[in-house]
Amino acid sequence: MKGVIITEKTNPATVNIDLSSTVDIIRMINNEDMKVAEKISENLEDISKAVDVIVNNFQKGGRLIYFGAGTSGRLGVLDASECPPTFNTNPEMVMGIIAGGDSALRNAIEGAEDSVECAQADFKKLNINSNDTIVSISASGNANYPVEIIRLAKEKNAKTIALTCNKEGIIYKTADIPICIETGAEVITGSTRMKAGTAQKMVLNMLTTASMVKIGKVYKNFMVDVKPTNTKLRDRAVRIVSEIAGCNYDEAKNVLEANNFKVKEAIVQIKYNISYNDALQMLKENDGILRKIKNF
């Protein structure tokens, strides 16, 4: 077939997968998965450019908004939904939009990825402006939904990032910052939920994590803006405060319980032996970044 994109090609390494033993099937999948990180390593410069754009827009009050259909859309929603508990972000700071709406998270919505009208409706709801960063996610990069999202974002002068696995894809050729992870033919022909999906998930992790590090939501390698909404996260918060402030577990826990589990504030309170309000003011004067405060 003329013009078949690489993710739709037949993988010669797995043509006999249906005749293979269970362990050999698993081995084939594993062997293909091992290629993903290597392919991502070839694109670190492009990914870092995307992070710098995202950070610059965050600092201007802009948002990071993922758009995608099917697996790509689900991965965007997943990454966005994990930012509030991990980094205590406003839910609108990082958003994931899937073609077909929330029901598409569990069910295939026929024709959603091919609908220009769906892209226009989703885009219109968000009042996107030039301070926002738009990431259009698509393995092939050619479906109408992700293509239209890039076009609409450019009309609003929003920065556009394409995350695809196909350099011949339209979004790769039209986005301000194109990222292409060429994962090649899938284990099961055309099943881009596999290597392509894994690559997308890894890159999305990089985009949000690196951006949060750059805006001060990480100290050393601790998630100091964690939102302790359950027992596990409250315990993690106590251990983070204890480790950074240099106090015992019980002292850290007592201060956190008294200030409603505000991790950064607790660290500064203990480190400087000051009140919650004074710690809050000190953080405010340093843009909420612990590294900017003396002795950190």
Residue 280 CA to residue 274 CA, distance in Å, equals 10
CB 61, CB 131: distance < 8 Å: yes
DSSP 132-185: -EEEEE-SSS-SHHHHHHHHHHHHTT-EEEEEES-TTSHHHHHSSEEEE----S
Of residues 216, 235, 232, the one with CA closest to residue 224: 216
Q: Which of 42, 45, 113, 182 is catalytic?
A: 113
Q: Report CA-CA distances (Å) from 287 to 12, 153, 223, 259, 282.
A: 54, 30, 16, 20, 9
Q: Is 82 a catalytic residue?
A: yes
DSSP state of 223: -
Q: Is 113 a catalytic residue?
A: yes
Q: Which of 32, 42, 45, 82 is catalytic?
A: 82
Instruction: Give the three-state DSSP class for 67.
Output: strand
Catalytic residue numbers?
82, 113
